[in-house]
Amino acid sequence: MDVSSIASLATSMAETGVKQEVGYAMLKKAQQMEGQVAAQLINALPQPQRLPANLGNTINTTA
């Protein structure tokens, strides 16, 4: 291998590393945004109504 091919390989590897770091940063940001949207959707749900104590205690398995 000559010096120019080694330099080219090193440059290529460095660019690949930078691209991966940018990809990870974008993925992390996207996940944070999705988490914020999910939290907003959950907070937007109406609060459940209070049901009588006898409701929801059994499951009808014959229907």
pLDDT digits (tens, 9 = 90+) for 23-61: 999 999 999 999 999 999 999 998 878 878 888 788 888
**pLDDT for 56:** 76
Predicted TM-score (pTM) of the model is: 0.54
Regarding predicted confidence, which is higher, 10 or 3? 10
Q: Describe the chain by its helix, strand, coil percentages, rounded to 5.
A: 65, 0, 35
Nearest to 16 by CA among 26, 28, 8, 6: 8
- Rounded to 5°, the CA angle 26-29-30 comes to 85
Round to whole Å and give the CA distance between 20 and 22: 5
> What pLDDT does 42 receive?
94
Identify which has the larger pLDDT, 24 or 14.
Answer: 24
Q: Please work out, in degrees rounded to the nearest 5, the angle formed at the alpha carbon of residue 37 by the alpha carbons of 31 and 43.
A: 135
